[in-house]
Structure 1
């Protein structure tokens, strides 16, 4: 098992129609906790890092944490750079050893997006890595990247031309999903996923997963959403768990950081493990 290419994890998930959690970690505790959940649930896992996290921790330290914590791990895992519009950061992470990157050129005209994505795919291939692509911005701001203004959805022919030209390994279409916490129940274009997969079979990445219903997850995974991104749910679990523990510590006037870390770790493991069960990836590592 251990660290494997992104496509090794997603090919089975896409074929068997289950979803693999792609969880954005924010520090060493959350990285260790989601890996522990994957081992506990015998689930493949995609660990994601935002550009903000790469910059706040540093790619050298972050990658050293990754290699140390995944040494001898018993389940397939991979390290992915999420939403990155900056070519220099993509190059930095690929050189360090990230297994895949999402080149987010969705703000560029489609033709220019295509041209640059072709270059990124060629660069990634030289490192044995893979690429996720997108042509429409996913609504919402996540780790300082994105916009709250909904992007126009491209025609199916445009999406298929992008896939045929760039040879990306995973595609992230806009289907009414959004980053962050949904202010109202999202109206999702389920059929668009089916149409893309029918015309060009490849794993679809579902962004804005935090807050969707179990039924919505099951429907989209069954249509080909093999990679299910989770960011907000981890951040909320991490911070709310920390807050609850610290409020209790203040009442008791008992200040013990290791106890805080153990408590938060267990809550993150529980959150990640529940998603693995929900998405159908639990028990798939064998």
Structure 2
């Protein structure tokens, strides 16, 4: 199964009402673990890269890693640039071969956001790529992008006008979700998803998935959240697994990096497979 478009993955999930894990990787080890977990679960997966990761590794190196690890892969996979307000980074990634981007202009007035998103959609189409859009900031700073101040939610009419004018492929509304670790179970506006989908059937991206309950996931996916973003959980698994492995090394005085890599990989694979089961994408590869 070659790399496929974001639209192919989310349109199928939206039509059949399951969610696809959209997981932010941080290096080659986590990329390999996410892909392996998807293959083990026979699940499509969306691999996401933050601007911070793109800049830390370098877009050409990161894309070369992606190409090498997805060659001959047996499940549908796609590469997505998450929360990017920088047009130059978007252009670089699209030119290299990213399959989709989230142009995050949510800090701008809706009219300017809409104008620039139209331009980004046109640019993406030249590469056969797709675009996720949003008009409200998802609360929380993630990899240096975002704000801890909850933004004002726009009306249904404003949301629909933005979706229709821009031609985006996925829409990410604010529904009380947040990036990072929730201090308590989030209170979510489930009906907002239903209202948008009823008025304009479009796959919805659910951000801030780390820490939501299974019941919340199931409800939102049934309403049209076809793309479910996971970043914080991956980071926690990566660092906690690393810490546990290093602690064992210190206790035994056995310092073997491949053992650490194997421990982390095992835990990232397990996380990915668990998400595929929870979101209903396990067994949905084509």
| TM-score higher than 0.5 | yes
Counterpart secondary structure, 1:211: coil
Per the alignment, residue 134 of structure 1 pairs with: 134
Q: In the alignment, is residue 162 of structure 1 matched against residue 145 of structure 2? A: no
RMSD of the TM alignment (CA)? Answer: 0.4
Per the alignment, residue 194 of structure 2 pairs with: 194
Q: In 1, Cα distance between the equivalents of 2:2 and 2:282?
A: 16
Shift of 1:107: 0.3
Give the ranges of 4+ consecutive aligned residues of structure 1 lying more than 4 Å apart after TM superposition.
none
Counterpart secondary structure, 2:23: strand
Q: In 2, Cα distance between the equivalents of 1:40 and 1:118?
A: 38
Shift of 1:185: 1.5
Per the alignment, residue 118 of structure 2 pairs with: 118
Shift of 1:50: 0.1
Counterpart secondary structure, 1:102: strand
Per the alignment, residue 254 of structure 1 pairs with: 254
Shift of 1:184: 1.6
Deviations 1:204-226 (A, max 9, x none): 00000000000000000000000
Deviations 1:109-167 (A, max 9, x none): 00000000000000000000000000000000100111111001001100000001000
Deviations 1:179-221 (A, max 9, x none): 0000122110000000000000010000000000000000000
Per the alignment, residue 103 of structure 1 pairs with: 103
Counterpart secondary structure, 1:237: helix
TM-score (norm 1): 1.00
Q: Which moved more, 1:49-58 or 1:177-186?
A: 177-186
Per the alignment, residue 273 of structure 2 pairs with: 273
Per the alignment, residue 208 of structure 2 pairs with: 208
Task: Flag structure 1 segments of 5+ consecutive residues without an equivalent.
Answer: none
Say how many residue pairs are matched.
286
Counterpart secondary structure, 2:53: helix
Per the alignment, residue 14 of structure 1 pairs with: 14
Shift of 1:29: 0.2
Per the alignment, residue 53 of structure 1 pairs with: 53
Deviations 1:74-114 (A, max 9, x none): 00000000000000000000000000000000000000000
Q: In 2, Cα distance between the equivalents of 1:164 and 1:248?
A: 55
Q: In 2, Cα distance between the equivalents of 1:182 and 1:52?
A: 22
TM-score (norm 2): 1.00
Q: In the alignment, is residue 171 of structure 1 matched against residue 174 of structure 2? A: no
Q: In the alignment, is residue 285 of structure 1 matched against residue 282 of structure 2? A: no
Task: Flag structure 2 segments of 5+ consecutive residues without an equivalent.
Answer: none
